Each structure stands twice: as structure tokens, then as C-alpha cells.
């Protein structure tokens, strides 16, 4: 170990503990679907996840509902994502809202359902394993480095998929990222579950299902009263509020806290976690003290980590623009869809910009790959899109859709020993259609 005043240089031997066709980093909606898709395509597949359960924002962040699988009752995200939803529903852990295809869920059954599907597909799971770097030669990733109780370990692969949300693997490999151009990142928010809520009251019953096209599903009567009382009660910045059923009487998942933060800056995000935890309990008390529906409520759970809406996105071979997106431009290499409004939350104050789509949009394969990285795909939140197109594509059904495409593409490229830039698009799209993707 060498040490200078500012930096340490550490040399250490790291064992290579596995070799795979496809290595997926991050077990959120994009990652678990990508891993299942790759494994079902016959690839020897590993999935790396920092927590001891899967699901990403749905389970670590309690982010509900899962948006959106249909557009006006027409399914736009099919295949493995929809199979997951139907299985979750059959376990009593999901409720599909019509006509928008938002899905309310029980977070604990979500974790169990995902885990079963991943293990049944034969995926090798590395839980409690934090991706901390990679070995990359001229843009080709050879191994990823993970940290866990065994120490530092390396996992080798033919093709890698970055589903960390924050684009961690792409960042470590040196992939160029989208410029932020001075625009503020969307805020971080900590969800919490309130129990003891009067979920039979008309206001809460109406608010906790999200089933009206063209309407922002926040709880308007409570929002208006909160805004009127904001100065008097010194209410912190908030969004919505949105309430979502967790499928248990008396319980709602609450989305209302917000703070400006860059979740990819450790100190900044630490501060945000602490502010948001304080705000959860302040908000819970404000609801309890001022609204009859919440008079007997209490905080039953706070999300494992603050919810992150926006961080890094790669500069891909193609960047989806808002113009293409809202006009439902159909690409030669369309591999998935999106139907959620363009949904931009202000990092300060209580506002939000929501632009509803007139038709469901498309996602090209080229938004999942970068030019000079022959064995890397991304899926989910870190795909290549401008700020506005991304503000729709960031939702969970869309992330599952791109995960499915990336998983199949990675397996096909690994098998054919082909760079991801030379993927056989006709074959990829044909296979995705066969699986149920609505292209
Ligand atoms: C407050 C808020 C409200 C939202 N509202 C909605 C909504 O109503 N409907 C909706 O559908 N979506 C909503 N979203 C968006 C949605 O939750 C996310 O954009 C989506 O989950 C992103 O999916 P992903 O798979 O790309 O990343 P994530 O869900 O973030 O999953 C990434 C996974 O990778 C793991 N990981 C990350 N880094 C590492 C690492 N270095 N090593 C190992 N593992 C790692 C994480 O633990 C996680 O499991 C909301 C988000 C927020 C924050």
C-alpha cells in the first residue's frame, strides 16, 4: 500500500469467483427481468445486488404503484414483465388497476415473487454484493468487482448489463454520460407506509387507486389544505401527496417528501437521507393532526433508502428525444414501449410538470448501448434519453421492458460472440415478439 497526502494506492489480489455468459448488475425492475430473460435464452447468467432482496425502488424505496403496463386498456409492456405481474397477483401480492395498468402491490410478496422467478430461471444470485468497479480493456469489460463479506471478488462475463439505475458499471467503464446542461435533477423522496389510516373514507379510497387517464393522481383535497397551511405549520417541501394501497386494510404507501440531492454523490445523498427521514415523521404528524382520515395513523415502515428519480444516463448510440417520444416515433430497432406521462418533479417547492401522452411511445435498441463498448448494455433508468423522454421512461414497467430486451440481446450476443453494436436486430425483435413484447 502506497500513501501520499491525498491518495492511497492499493494493490490486492482479487479472486475470480465466477464466469458467466451474461452478468447483470442491479436487481431492480430492469435487472431482475434482464436476468430472467438472459437465463431463459440459455445464457449462464449472474445477477449482482447490493441488498438481500430484489425489486429495486419497488422494494428498497416502497415506490408504488408500478406504472404503467397498458395504455387505455391496451397492453404495451408484455412478456416476462406481465408474467411477473400476473404471478404476483395470483400470490395475492398485486392488484392491476384499469384502464391505465398501474399495479398496486405488497412489497414483501413482491420480493418473494421476484426471488422465486429468478431462481427458477437458474440465475446465479450474488446478494449483499456491492459493485465497486470493473476491469475494462479498450472498452471491453472483462470482470466486474464486487465487495461483500468475503472481501473483494471478481466476476467474469462475456456480456454485461448495467441495471444499477445510476449507471454505476457504465460510469466505472468510462462511458460518456448525458449532459445535465444546468437543469436540476429531479428530487429524491422517501416513501413511508402509514398504518391505522381510514382507507374506507371516500377521500383515501379515491386517492389510493390510480385509474383515470389524463389526471394527475395526487390527492387534491389534502394537497390544497396542506398548501393553505404550509406557512403556518412550516411544512417542508412536498409533492402530491400520492397515496397507494399496499393491499392491506388501513395501510397506504405515502409519496410526498422531497429534497434536492445528487444520489451519486455520497455526502450529498447522506444529507438527503437524514433530511428525508426527519420529514417523514414531520409529514406523518401533520397528516395525523390535521386530517380525520389519518387521526389514528402511525408510521409502520420507512423505505430502506431514499427514492432516486434521476441520476446518470449514458450517451448511447441513439438518444431518445422528447419529440420522438411524444410522437410515438417507430424505430427500425424498437424493442420496448412507454406509456407514462412525461413526469418532472421540481426539486424545490410543491410543483410537478406532467404531460400526458396521446399514444404509447417506442424505445430503440440503440438507446441501450454506447458506441465504443462492445460488451455492455444498459437497461432501466440509465438508458440514453433526453431529460423529458427519460421523465416518462423512468417508470417501472418501462424499465422492465428495456430489461427484457437487454437480457435477450445480451444472451444472443454472448452466444454469437458478437459485439452488442452488431446484434441481429431482426432476430432480437422476432424473439421479443414471440415472448409477448408489444412492438
Ligand atoms: C419518489 C419516486 C416516485 C416514483 N414513482 C413511480 C411510480 O409511481 N410508478 C413507477 O412505476 N415508477 C415510479 N418511480 C420510478 C421508478 O421507481 C424507478 O425509476 C425505477 O425503479 C428504476 O428501475 P431500475 O431497475 O432502473 O433501477 P432501480 O429500481 O433503482 O434498481 C436498481 C437496483 O440496483 C441495485 N444497485 C444499485 N447500485 C448498485 C451497486 N453499485 N452494486 C450493487 N447493486 C446496486 C439497487 O440496490 C437496486 O436493486 C418513482 C421513483 C421515485 C424515486
Whether residue 62 lies inside any domain: the answer is yes
- Residue 92's CB is within 10 A of a number of other CB atoms, namely 10
* pLDDT at residue 348, as a whole number: 87
Are residues 364 and 270 both part of a single domain? no
Are residues 289 and 317 both part of a single domain? no
Supply the range of the domain harboring residue 106: 16-182+310-435
Helix and strand numbers, DSSP H then E, in the chain: 12, 21
CA-to-CA distance for 267 and 76, rounded, in angstroms? Answer: 39
Q: Ligand 1 center to residue 57 CA distance, Å?
A: 4
Whether residue 3 lies inside any domain: the answer is no
Whether residue 187 lies inside any domain: the answer is no
Say what percent of the chain tops pLDDT 90: 89
Q: Ligand 1 center to residue 51 CA distance, Å?
A: 13
Whether residue 1 lies inside any domain: the answer is no
Whether residue 37 lies inside any domain: the answer is yes
Are residues 271 and 167 both part of a single domain? no
CA-to-CA distance for 115 and 118, rounded, in angstroms? Answer: 5
CATH number for the domain that contains residue 92: 3.50.50.60
* pLDDT at residue 228, as a whole number: 95
Are residues 379 and 273 both part of a single domain? no
Ligand 1 pocket, residue 396 CB under 6 Å = yes
End position of a domain, from candidates 233, 268, 302: 302
Q: Ligand 1 center to residue 415 CA distance, Å?
A: 29
Ligand 1 pocket, residue 374 CB under 6 Å = no
End position of a domain, from candidates 302, 332, 347: 302
CA-to-CA distance for 46 and 24, rounded, in angstroms? Answer: 6
Ligand 1 pocket, residue 162 CB under 6 Å = no
Say what percent of the chain tops pLDDT 70: 99
* Minimal-distance CA residue to ligand 1 atom 3: 63
- Residue 46's CB is within 10 A of a number of other CB atoms, namely 28
Are residues 372 and 272 both part of a single domain? no
Ligand 1 pocket, residue 405 CB under 6 Å = no
End position of a domain, from candidates 249, 269, 302: 302
Residue 99 pLDDT level (bands cut at 50, 70, 90) = confident
CA-to-CA distance for 82 and 283, rounded, in angstroms? Answer: 35
Give the pLDDT confidence of 331-350 residue by residue, as tens digits.
999 999 999 999 999 888 88
* pLDDT at residue 322, as a whole number: 97
Give the pLDDT confidence of 141-155 residue by residue, as tens digits.
999 999 999 999 999
3-state helix, strand, coil in the chain (%, to 5): 35, 25, 40
Given a cut of 90, is residue 244 above it in pLDDT? yes
Q: Ligand 1 center to residue 201 CA distance, Å?
A: 31
Residue 98 pLDDT level (bands cut at 50, 70, 90) = confident
Whether residue 10 lies inside any domain: the answer is no
Are residues 231 and 359 both part of a single domain? no
* pLDDT at residue 1, as a whole number: 66
Given a cut of 70, is residue 61 above it in pLDDT? yes
* Minimal-distance CA residue to ligand 1 atom 30: 165
* Minimal-distance CA residue to ligand 1 atom 4: 63
Ligand 1 pocket, residue 210 CB under 6 Å = no
* Bigger pLDDT: 69 vs 72: 69
CA-to-CA distance for 307 and 302, rounded, in angstroms? Answer: 11
Are residues 23 and 171 both part of a single domain? yes
Cell numbers standing for residue 225: 389544505
pTM: 0.97
Are residues 175 and 65 both part of a single domain? yes
The whole-number average pLDDT for the span 272-283 is 98
Ligand 1 pocket, residue 187 CB under 6 Å = no
Into how many domains does the chain fold?
2
Given a cut of 80, is residue 162 above it in pLDDT? yes
Given a cut of 90, is residue 166 above it in pLDDT? yes
Given a cut of 90, is residue 216 above it in pLDDT? no
Are residues 325 and 241 both part of a single domain? no
* pLDDT at residue 238, as a whole number: 95
* Minimal-distance CA residue to ligand 1 atom 5: 63
* pLDDT at residue 347, as a whole number: 85
Ligand 1 pocket, residue 133 CB under 6 Å = no
* pLDDT at residue 213, as a whole number: 66
- Considering the chain, what is the average pLDDT of its residues? 96
Amino acid at each position: 500500500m502506497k500513501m501520499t497526502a491525498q491518495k492511497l494506492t492499493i494493490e490486492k489480489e482479487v479472486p475470480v469467483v465466477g464466469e458467466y455468459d451474461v452478468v447483470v448488475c442491479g436487481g431492480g425492475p430492469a435487472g431482475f427481468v434482464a436476468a430472467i430473460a438472459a437465463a431463459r435464452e440459455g445464457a449462464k447468467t449472474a445477477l449482482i445486488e447490493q441488498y438481500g432482496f430484489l425489486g429495486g425502488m419497488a422494494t428498497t424505496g416502497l415506490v408504488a404503484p408500478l406504472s404503467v403496463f397498458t395504455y387505455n386498456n391496451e397492453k404495451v409492456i408484455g412478456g416476462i414483465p406481465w408474467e411477473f405481474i400476473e404471478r404476483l397477483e395470483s400470490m395475492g401480492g398485486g392488484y392491476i388497476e384499469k384502464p391505465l395498468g398501474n399495479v398496486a402491490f405488497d412489497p414483501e410478496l413482491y420480493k418473494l415473487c421476484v426471488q422465486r422467478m429468478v431462481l427458477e430461471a437458474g440465475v446465479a444470485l450474488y446478494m449483499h454484493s456491492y459493485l465497486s468497479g470493473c476491469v475494462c480493456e479498450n472498452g471491453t469489460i472483462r470482470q466486474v468487482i464486487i465487495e461483500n463479506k468475503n472481501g473483494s471478488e471478481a466476476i467474469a462475463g462475456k456480456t454485461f448489463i448495467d441495471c444499477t439505475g445510476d449507471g454505476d458499471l457504465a460510469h466505472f467503464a468510462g462511458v460518456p454520460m448525458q449532459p445535465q446542461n444546468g437543469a436540476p435533477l429531479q428530487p429524491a423522496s422517501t416513501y413511508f407506509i402509514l398504518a391505522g389510516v381510514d382507507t374506507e373514507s371516500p377521500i383515501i379510497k379515491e386517492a389510493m387507486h390510480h385509474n383515470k387517464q389524463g389526471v394527475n393522481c395526487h390527492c387534491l383535497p389534502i394537497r390544497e389544505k396542506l398548501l393553505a397551511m404550509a406557512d403556518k405549520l412550516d411544512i417542508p417541501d412536498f409533492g402530491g401527496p400520492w397515496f397507494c394501497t399496499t393491499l392491506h386494510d388501513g395501510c397506504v404507501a405515502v409519496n410526498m417528501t422531497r429534497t434536492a440531492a445528487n444520489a451519486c454523490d455520497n455526502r450529498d445523498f447522506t444529507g438527503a437521507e437524514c433530511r428525508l427521514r426527519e420529514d417523514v415523521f414531520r409529514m406523518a404528524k401533520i397528516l395525523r393532526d390535521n386530517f380525520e382520515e389519518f387521526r389514528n395513523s402511525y408510521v409502520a415502515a420507512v423505505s430502506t433508502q431514499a427514492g432516486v428519480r434521476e441520476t446518470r444516463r449514458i450517451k448511447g448510440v441513439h438518444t431518445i428525444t422528447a419529440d420522438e417520444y411524444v410522437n410515438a416515433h417507430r424505430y427500425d430497432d424498437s424493442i420496448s414501449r412507454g406509456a407514462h406521462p412525461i413526469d418532472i418533479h421540481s426539486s424545490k417547492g410543491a410543483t410537478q410538470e406532467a404531460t400526458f401522452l396521446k399514444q404509447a411511445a417506442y424505445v430503440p435498441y440503440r438507446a441501450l448501448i454506447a458506441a465504443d463498448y462492445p460488451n455492455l448494455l444498459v437497461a432501466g433508468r440509465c438508458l440514453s434519453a433526453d431529460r423529458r423522454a427519460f421523465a416518462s421512461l423512468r417508470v417501472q414497467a418501462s424499465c422492465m421492458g428495456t430489461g427484457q430486451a437487454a437480457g435477450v440481446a445480451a444472451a444472443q450476443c454472448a452466444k454469437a460472440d458478437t459485439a452488442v453494436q452488431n446484434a441481429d436486430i431482426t432476430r432480437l425483435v422476432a424473439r421479443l415478439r414471440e415472448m409477448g413484447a408489444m412492438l
